[in-house]
Amino acid sequence: MRKIGQKTSQAVVKAGRKLCAATALAVTCILALAAQQNQNAVANFVTVAAPVVALTHARVIDGSGAAARADQTIVVRDGIIVELGDSSRVAAPPGAAVVDLSGKSVIPGLVMVHEHLYYPTGPGVYGQLGGSFSRLYLAGGVTTMRTGGNTNGIMDISVARRIAAGEMPGPEIDATAPYLNGPSTFLQMHAVTNADEARNHVGYWAGQGATSLKAYMQITLAALKAGIDEAHRRGMKVTGHLCSVTYAEAADLGIDNLEHGFLASTDFVEDKQPDVCPGQGRGQQTIAALDEAGAPFKALVSKLVDKRVALTSTLTVFETFTPGRPMPPGLDVLTPSLQDNFQRARDRVAANPDSIYTKLFPKAMALERAFARAGGVLLAGTDPTGSGGVVPGFANQRQLELLVEAGFSPLEAITIGTLNGARFLDRDARIGTIAAGKQADLVVVAGDPSTSISDVRRVEIVFKRGVGFSPAKLIESVRGQVGVW
């Protein structure tokens, strides 16, 4: 019964009832009963659902960067925030479902842009985990996300559609097409070798319903240019985890976004040949040695700022490569074998205290901060890949903590993880901040993340379009199974 959606299950219940009445067949009646108790129906994860909801006495951190406001009331009608102000002035309308949030804070639903519906489950294999991941993202407070590359083909698109139709719990998803890459060793990637193939790839996947595109490490300049032009012609944005093409080259081609901060940049590799990836490691050696106050870095930053290329911070995945860092949160939702896999990877990292990441990880933070301070648009994502350990939902909260460790204030980190993402996705008129007229995508947390960012881990209710979901129920429904579905 696990994969039966709400509509299907309702149909099964109806059919079952008819048959029960007509034949009184015990087996059929049991089937109908099972469907009625469908554990996967969206309604099972909902704790607040009413046409009018009033959240009273809340601390509101609106996502714009403005200071937190104490003792606020938010009135939500049919999924839209209709009123927001001091609790002494704004009354709960008659008949509203009232939720007293004394001692709690409300932040906008997170909007993160380097998410995936897959996870490393074996050597060179990425298991497709759209069912459990979409629940975990929502539980962590993510109400909108872009998948930053897909290795499955249709699943990102199907999951996005089913969530939009109310058939699965999860965030709104901007679904990427399968990676736009040249020949590589990845078993789950296409190989696009020229401009025509790039155009065809973009056209085909746009036709299937993909709404954004991600270029990868072995793409050629010509194929990337054709892919960007075709995507833009269709109103789609393009991001890249690059290597064969430098950040400066991609900016000149009109790319919209670059992933992993500066850690995928090969701009500073001295003998860099056009269209050839010199190896991610060689690029990273130059980045580890880069001076954020030096002219070469500043020149690249000005180009990215001038060309309005956004940069996505994915500190969460790099933290798992860095010795001496804390255990990442959320591991217990994984299957026991994936927990073991990650522990082994973590032991290997710990056994190599001279790893380049001891320099690179703090450098990544310093460069991202310098980019943002110079006027660059910084976005946030988690990238649940690497050798595992980046667990959706939990990692999105961790990413905000790491931005604060990188030198941003908690309010700035929240803006990066909400409004900046919404602006990039051109949805900021509807989501990204808490204001009258906006969609009620709201995360209720205990405590005050404007002073203690770690309070973002204490999520109690996640509202998506005014419907309140229980993080505990969402997480409990997948515990120990993440890795299977």
CA–CA distance, 99 with 73 (Å, rounded to integer): 10
Shortest separation between residue 189's beta carbon and Zn ion, angstroms = 12
Q: Which C-beta is closer to Zn ion: that of 108 or that of 148?
A: 148
Shortest separation between residue 217's beta carbon and Zn ion, angstroms = 11
Binding segment for Zn ion (CB under 5 A), chosen from 22-30, 137-145, 376-384, 439-447, is: 376-384
Of 280, 215, 227, which is closest to residue 272 (Cα–Cα)? 280
15-54 binders of Zn ion (CB under 5 A) = none
Binding segment for Zn ion (CB under 5 A), chosen from 5-13, 383-391, 404-412, 425-433, is: 383-391
Question: Across the chain, which distance is largest between two alpha carbons, in Å?
Answer: 82
Shortest separation between residue 146's beta carbon and Zn ion, angstroms = 11
Q: Which C-beta is closer to Zn ion: that of 249 or that of 383?
A: 383
Shortest separation between residue 356's beta carbon and Zn ion, angstroms = 20
Q: Which C-beta is closer to Zn ion: that of 150 or that of 433?
A: 150
Shortest separation between residue 342's beta carbon and Zn ion, angstroms = 17
Of 263, 208, 218, which is closest to residue 244 (Cα–Cα)? 218
CA–CA distance, 451 with 429 (Å, rounded to integer): 27
Q: Which C-beta is closer to Zn ion: that of 148 or that of 261?
A: 148
Q: Which C-beta is closer to Zn ion: that of 383 or that of 401?
A: 383
125-154 binders of Zn ion (CB under 5 A) = 148
Binding test (CB under 5 A) with Zn ion, winner from 230, 256, 368, 383: 383
Shortest separation between residue 32's beta carbon and Zn ion, angstroms = 43
Does the protein bind Zn ion through residue 156 (CB under 5 A)?
A: no
β-bridge mates for residue 146, sequence order: 174
Amino acid at 245: V
Q: With left for phi above 0 and alpha for psi between -120 and 50, is residue 270 left, alpha or beta?
A: alpha
Q: Which C-beta is closer to Zn ion: that of 32 or that of 113?
A: 113
Q: Which residue is nearest to Zn ion (CB)?
A: 383
Binding segment for Zn ion (CB under 5 A), chosen from 1-9, 319-327, 361-369, 380-388, is: 380-388
User: C-alpha distances in angstroms, 387 versus 262, 348, 365, 369?
Assistant: 20, 11, 21, 26
Question: 274, 252 in Cβ contact below 8 A?
Answer: no
What backbone phi and psi angles, to 5 degrees, belong to 38?
A: -50, 115
Shortest separation between residue 385's beta carbon and Zn ion, angstroms = 5
Residues 245/250/256/259 CA torsion (nearest 10 deg):
30
CA–CA distance, 413 with 396 (Å, rounded to integer): 11
Shortest separation between residue 317's beta carbon and Zn ion, angstroms = 7
Q: Would you give the end-to-end CA distance of the chain in angstroms?
A: 13
Binding segment for Zn ion (CB under 5 A), chosen from 171-179, 267-275, 340-348, 375-383, is: 375-383
Q: Which C-beta is closer to Zn ion: that of 179 or that of 469?
A: 179
Shortest separation between residue 452's beta carbon and Zn ion, angstroms = 29
Residues 409/413/414/416 CA torsion (nearest 10 deg):
140
Which is it for the CA torsion 63, 66, 72, 76, positive or negative? negative
Q: Which C-beta is closer to Zn ion: that of 240 or that of 466?
A: 240
Q: How many residues at the interface with Zn ion, by CB under 5 A?
A: 2
Tell me which residue has tokens 């269209």: 275
Q: Which residues bind Zn ion (CB under 5 A)?
A: 148, 383
